[in-house]
Structure 1
């Protein structure tokens, strides 16, 4: 099935090459890097027309507000909050285009917030999985 993939992350060339090889797509792949010419839209203007980065930033702020200051006290609250965070985290790639820093606003906090949320996910993961194991074990006894 024909297709096209555009990736603004030229620094990921080696990783991309490995994926193309693993999928057996080398014989069907044409890869190149290029830049815009001196006329028409600039890269920044193209970004502004293509993505509403203010909405993306607001989404990150909402996630940080929802999860960032929680102090979870019970095993159940860790489990359920972890599930909610992972669910929200799985939606981020559909919201944030993951643009290189050079194309982002100068005060972009997305990566900082993402790192905080990932840290929370890691922090809660062990306890959440342990509680899930307890519940699954109890359910198996019934």
Structure 2
């Protein structure tokens, strides 16, 4: 069974499982890598997740080999596995880097594949992962994406041993239909609404200010989780082909400012919670 992708993780916002991964990615991996179950459940409780749901999500992540048992604090806890650390690293650049669209002059990646009918599970996996990385079908076996996705696509294909089905090309658009027809291969209509929701929600949160490290934590984790969802949902098409380009820039600026304002205090709260021991 292939390991979950960072893209698959990013698709569902504010589930207990995703919030745990956000907490590990934003705080725990830089604080020794391990946290007790009690501290993790307490932090999730501050995000509105009850204890039963928290423990169930921890157990699922353990079964997926993303968390491993650890008792370095003298109490039951979990450390991020090598697989989870790799997933978090995969996501860092996309989450914290610029989300401006690709340039039209960058060109395009074309992925051509043929998978035997007897291996249709592999075909489904290939299509699912291509879609998750921002590719779109021009026909059943020909998918396209901005060229800058080439590295991510290549790593995915090799990592899942799907490269044997695929030929990849890069090139420029030279005609004949209007270029904006190309964007119809992607379903980007929901993105305008989703960017606007993100802006509205987190602008209101920013207007309230930060009263304490605990409040910063409760604002910062949903901010990160929501932003991760957006940047993995957005295929990163050039601005000229994207009806939500202005909202994308506005959301990116809001995220950057809010993250800078909240991250330090939120980290302080996590440090204090881990150090506090059983509550």
1:10 equivalent to 2:143? Answer no
Partner of 2:273: 135
Q: Cα 1:113–1:106, aligned 2, differ >3 Å: closer, same or farther?
A: closer
Aligned residues: 137
1:99 equivalent to 2:237? Answer yes
The alpha-carbon deviation at position 64 of structure 1 amounts to 1.6
d(CA) in 1 for partners of 2:271, 2:147: 42
Q: Secondary structure at the match of 1:8?
A: strand
d(CA) in 1 for partners of 2:192, 2:244: 12
Where do 5+ consecutive residues of structure 1 fail to align?
A: none
- Calculate the TM-score normalised by the size of structure 1: 0.70
**Cα RMSD, aligned residues only:** 3.3
Q: Which of the pair is proportionally richer in strand?
A: 2
| 1:12-31 matches, cutoff 5 A | 12-13=149-150, 15-16=151-152, 19=155, 23=159, 25=161, 28=164, 29-31=166-168
- CA deviations 1:46-102 (Å, max 9, x no partner) are 53574253x422321221222123321211110100112122223214543332223
Partner of 1:58: 193
The alpha-carbon deviation at position 103 of structure 1 amounts to 1.6
Q: Cα 1:22–1:122, aligned 2, differ >3 Å: closer, same or farther?
A: farther
Where do 5+ consecutive residues of structure 2 fail to align?
A: 1-121, 136-143
Contact 1:36 1:43 in 2 (8 A): no
Counterpart selection for 1:32 from 147, 163, 169: 169
Partner of 1:108: 246
Q: Cα 1:59–1:133, aligned 2, differ >3 Å: closer, same or farther?
A: same
The alpha-carbon deviation at position 27 of structure 1 amounts to 5.3
| 1:62-101 matches, cutoff 5 A | 62-68=197-203, 69-70=206-207, 71-93=209-231, 95-101=233-239
Q: Which of the pair is proportionally richer in helix?
A: 1
- CA deviations 1:3-61 (Å, max 9, x no partner) are 24335211344x3476258637585241013548525xx442353574253x4223212
Q: Cα 1:22–1:118, aligned 2, differ >3 Å: closer, same or farther?
A: farther
